[in-house]
């Protein structure tokens, strides 16, 4: 029978002990004697968050389909268990075997957001693996990072042996084969890393040196060993129809944040919103055939028992066979008593009809993400959603019985003026007015309810806005205040609710997003002083971070508000994502001229991603 790494007494003490026992339905157990490679996948946050992530489920299914590999999972222990493990010197363990992670061959850590960086150090330290890659020996696991934050891995470069740049489905098999080969020949960590670095998508930070200018901007990247390339090319899965998909997803015992089936319908996005990193990183746009998706949906519903299915993509309205897929799912899910959680769709007669079928109109709301209040600003960010579309969509929805509208905006976008901020309030007011003009008094059952939410814009690598200055903390607060007072000045202000996100975290996120290697020491110091679970408001301690930056003589403003020249070399420039820096530059200049760029399913804008030769839309 399976064992537990933690004693009965500990499991009875900690909150939600089911986070640590493994054994979930569809989790995979193998016989240690029958396998060559032990791989542990880590999401450096609490179990319920980590178990909601599709990427790990995909790679888990893929790795475990290899006969010679056993892939297991680990998540960040919650602070209650963290303390117990430190006090009792208990090594962090993988869920499936409950064996210490330090005995594994690989520890793969997914990097989904910047604010998880201290949790990476927690996982390493609790695993009793040296935190700094330079201190690791042949006996320690190879620590690999992947996921969106791996596209600027530099702030955490010194903690990782390898970063895998791109989609995991492509090159892991070759990497494992190389590892086995090295093992056979008498293993040395250096030799394996050197040989791995020659593969596409594999970045070994210890083999590339970064040289700085006097002002700490980057001078150049140089190879530390002959034969090491100073460009790392992103890996792309070219055919989504026969790539690995977790049709037998692991079903957590405790409720995960996403307690549902995720059906990934496509990768990439044709819209080219200039603030959006995912929109550039996941190019070229690739779709899964509708028949493949129907089959996946059926299998996953049967294999999971979930009560809800969710369609996942960056822009579902652009999926060519969306109508066919949704109509099929409505029928099939109705029969199987499964709810469909719709992605945010362009509001039109079809989507409202579908929404009416799958949701309770009285409870559900309509969502728009105009991202900016004024048309001028929406042109700057290339968000192709017009005021007419929002008002017409709202009008149709009000006629259909909806009375709740959610609007998402960003504050602090490049070239933003006070008028653009005030326009957020005015747009909310126009939606409210639309309600009263659309519906005669006797048809209004309730007051219209509009919720406006703002988040602070953070410039990200590999976007046209990578050159932008981030606004300061004070500016952010002023902008949120102006939004609030402008909303309160509207005629229908009582129907408009305003939410905004915290500012301190946004500044730090901005630092790490465009950070360089000098930040590793800051992250280490902050962690040693108690920073952990920074993505959680209750645990985020800004003062610890301020001190860590101070102690290292590093000014956060260098990374955030500083003006970047067009010819500056960025810390992430050694990565080739297909989309060229020239293209991003063109887009940055067009943004300053308030000029828009077309949806690339309609017209190719020459971003460069078509060199992957993937996805039928890149060649139209």
Partner 1 sequence: MTVKAKNMVIRFKFKKFGPVIYIGHLDIMRFFQKAIRRSGIDAAYTEGFSPHLKLSFAQPLSVGVETDGDYFDLEMNSLPDMENIVKDMNAQCVEGIEIVNATLLDDDTVNGMSSVKAADYLYYFDDLSNDLKLIEAFFSQETFIFEYVRKDKVKTKDLMEDIYEYRIINDKEMLVKVNASSAGNLKADVVTEALEKYGMKAKCIKFKRHDLYTADDEGAFVSLRDKGKVYD
Q: Which residues contact partner 1 (rule: CB under 8 A)? A: 1-4, 8, 11-12, 17-18, 21-25, 251, 253-255, 302-307, 336-337, 339, 359-360
Separation CA 571–CA 514 (nearest Å): 7
Helix (H), strand (E) counts: the chain = 20, 19
Other CB atoms within 10 Å distance of the CB of residue 21: 16
Spatial distance between the Cα atoms of 386 and 380, rounded to a whole number of angstroms: 13
CA-nearest of 69, 161, 143 to 101 is 143
Provide the minimum distance between the beta carbon of 22 and partner 1 in the complex, in angstroms, as a whole number: 7
DSSP state of 224: S
Distance CA(557)–CA(79), nearest Å, equals 31
d(CA 264, CA 312): 5
Any idea which residue has 């690989």 for tokens? 106
User: Prior bond to 587 cis, omega within 30?
Assistant: no
CB-neighbour burial class of residue 473 (10 A; exposed 0-12, middle 13-18, buried 19+): middle
- 173 is written with which tokens? 């098999």
Q: How far is the CB of 4 from partner 1 (least distance, A)?
A: 5
SS3 317: helix
Pairing relationship of beta strands 286-287 and 266-267 according to DSSP bridges: antiparallel
203: left (phi over 0), alpha (psi -120 to 50) or beta: beta
Q: In the complex, what is the shortest distance from the CB of residue 318 to partner 1, in angstroms, rounded to a whole number?
A: 28
- Cβ 360 to partner 1, closest distance in Å? 5
**Cβ of residue 304: shortest distance to partner 1, in angstroms?**
7
Nearest CB to partner 1, comparing residues 1 and 566: 1
126 CB-contact burial (10 Å; exposed 0-12 / middle 13-18 / buried 19+): buried
Which residue number, 359 or 610, has a Cβ lying nearer to partner 1?
359
Q: How far is the CB of 366 from partner 1 (least distance, A)?
A: 17
Which helix H or strand E contains 70, and what residues bound it?
A: strand 69-75
What distance in Å separates the CA atoms of residue 93 and residue 99, rounded to the nearest whole number?
A: 5
Min CB(255)–partner 1 separation in Å = 7
Contact 326, 354 (CB under 8 A): yes
**Which tokens is 571 given?**
């810390």
208-212 and 218-223: which strand pairing? antiparallel
CB of 339 to partner 1, least distance (A): 6
Shortest separation between residue 589's beta carbon and partner 1, angstroms:
49
Beta pairing class for 366-371 and 404-411: parallel
**Least distance to partner 1, CB of residue 338, Å:** 9
State in angstroms the smallest separation of the CB of 251 from partner 1. 6
- Tell the smallest beta-carbon distance from residue 11 to partner 1 (Å): 5
Q: What is the token pair recorded at 185? A: 């020949």
Q: Are 68 and 105 in contact (CB under 8 A)?
A: no
In the complex with partner 1, which residue's Cβ is closer, 20 or 465?
Answer: 20
Nearer to partner 1, 341 or 580 (CB): 341
What's the gap between Cα 176 and its chain centre? 25
Distance between CA 216 and CA 305 in Å, rounded?
54
Q: Which residues of 448-464 are buried (b: 16+ CB within 10 A; e: fewer)?
A: bbbbbebbbbbbbbbbb
Tokens at 60, concatenated: 């888990």
């Amino acid at each position: 029978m399976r064992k537990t790494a933690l004693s009965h007494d500990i499991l009875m003490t900690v909150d939600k002990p089911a986070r640590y026992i493994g054994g979930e339905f569809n989790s995979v157990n193998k016989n240690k004697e029958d396998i060559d490679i032990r791989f542990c996948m880590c999401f450096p946050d609490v179990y319920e968050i980590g178990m909601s992530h599709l990427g790990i489920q995909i790679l888990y299914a893929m790795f475990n389909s290899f006969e010679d590999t056993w892939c297991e999972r680990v998540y960040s222990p919650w602070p209650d268990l963290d303390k117990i493990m430190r006090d009792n010197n208990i090594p962090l363990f993988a869920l499936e075997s409950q064996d210490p992670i330090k005995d594994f061959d690989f520890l793969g850590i997914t990097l989904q957001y910047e604010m998880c960086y201290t949790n990476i150090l927690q996982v390493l330290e609790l695993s009793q693996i040296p935190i700094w890659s330079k201190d690791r020996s042949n006996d320690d696991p190879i620590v690999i990072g992947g996921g969106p934050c791996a596209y600027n891995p530099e702030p955490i470069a010194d903690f990782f042996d390898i970063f895998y740049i791109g989609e995991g489905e492509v090159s892991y098999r070759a990497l494992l084969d190389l590892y086995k080969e090295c093992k056979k020949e008498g293993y040395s960590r250096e030799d394996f890393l050197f040989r791995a670095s020659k593969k596409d998508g594999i970045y070994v930070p210890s083999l590339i040196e970064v040289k700085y200018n006097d002002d700490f901007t980057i001078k150049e990247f140089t190879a530390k060993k002959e034969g090491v390339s100073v460009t790392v090319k992103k890996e792309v899965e070219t055919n989504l129809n026969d790539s690995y998909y977790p049709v037998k997803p692991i079903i957590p015992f405790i409720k995960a944040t996403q307690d549902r089936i995720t059906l990934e319908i496509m990768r990439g996005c044709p819209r080219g919103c200039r603030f959006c990193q995912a929109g550039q990183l996941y190019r070229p746009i690739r779709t899964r055939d509708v028949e493949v998706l129907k089959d996946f949906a059926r299998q996953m519903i049967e294999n999971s028992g979930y009560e809800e299915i969710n369609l996942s993509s960056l822009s579902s309205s652009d999926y060519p066979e969306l109508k066919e897929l949704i109509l099929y799912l409505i029928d099939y899910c109705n029969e199987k008593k499964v709810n469909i959680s719709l992605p945010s769709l362009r509001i039109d007669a079809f989507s409202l009809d579908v929404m009416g079928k799958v949701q309770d109109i009285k409870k559900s709301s309509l969502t728009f993400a105009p991202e900016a209040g004024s048309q001028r600003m929406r042109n700057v960010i290339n968000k192709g959603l017009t005021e007419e579309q929002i008002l017409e969509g709202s009008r149709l929805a009000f006629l259909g019985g909806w009375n709740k509208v959610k609007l998402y905006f960003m504050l602090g976008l490049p070239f933003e003026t006070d008028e653009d901020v005030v326009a957020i309030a005015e747009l909310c007011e126009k939606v409210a007015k639309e309600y009263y003009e659309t519906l005669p008094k006797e048809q209004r059952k309730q007051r219209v309810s509009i919720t406006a939410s703002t988040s602070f814009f953070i410039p990200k690598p590999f976007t046209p806005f990578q050159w932008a200055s981030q606004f300061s903390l004070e500016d952010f607060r002023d902008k949120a205040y102006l939004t609030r007072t402008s909303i309160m000045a509207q005629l229908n202000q009582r129907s408009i609710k305003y939410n905004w996100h915290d500012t301190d975290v946004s500044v730090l996120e901005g630092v790490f997003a465009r950070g360089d290697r000098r930040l590793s020491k800051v992250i280490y110091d902050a962690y040693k002083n108690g920073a952990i679970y920074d993505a959680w408001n209750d645990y985020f301690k800004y003062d610890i971070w301020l001190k860590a930056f101070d102690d290292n003589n590093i000014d956060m403003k260098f990374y955030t508000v500083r003006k970047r020249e067009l010819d500056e070399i960025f810390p992430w420039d050694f990565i080739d994502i297909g989309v060229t820096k020239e293209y991003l530059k063109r887009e940055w200049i067009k943004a300053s001229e308030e000029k828009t760029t077309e949806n690339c399913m309609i017209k190719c804008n020459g971003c460069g991603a078509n060199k992957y030769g993937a996805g039928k839309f890149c060649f139209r």
